[in-house]
Amino acid sequence: MADRDWYDDSDHRDAVRRSQRATRFGWSAIAGTAGALGCALVALAVVGAAAVLGGLYVVMATNH
């Protein structure tokens, strides 16, 4: 107990650092997941638009 005095708050600082690291990791995971879902949504919209345009092309080509 002689080497740690009453005002030692190193345990508190370590806990704050760990919680900040966990918070950064959590926000990174949230941002990564949201980004991946956004990319998937854009890809789905592009595939859907291509399917609609392809269907319109087939319908127009069979009418001529």
What DSSP assignment string belongs to 43-63? HHHHHHHHHHHHHHHHHHHHH
**Which residues of the chain register pLDDT less than 70?**
1-7
pTM of full prediction above 0.85: no
Query: Residue 63: its pLDDT value, please?
Result: 81
Query: Residue 6: its pLDDT value, please?
Result: 66
Length of the chain: 64
Return d(Cα 30, Cα 28) in angstroms, integer: 5
Instruction: Provide CB contacts within 8 A for 20, sequence distance 6+.
Output: none
Query: Residue 60: its pLDDT value, please?
Result: 93
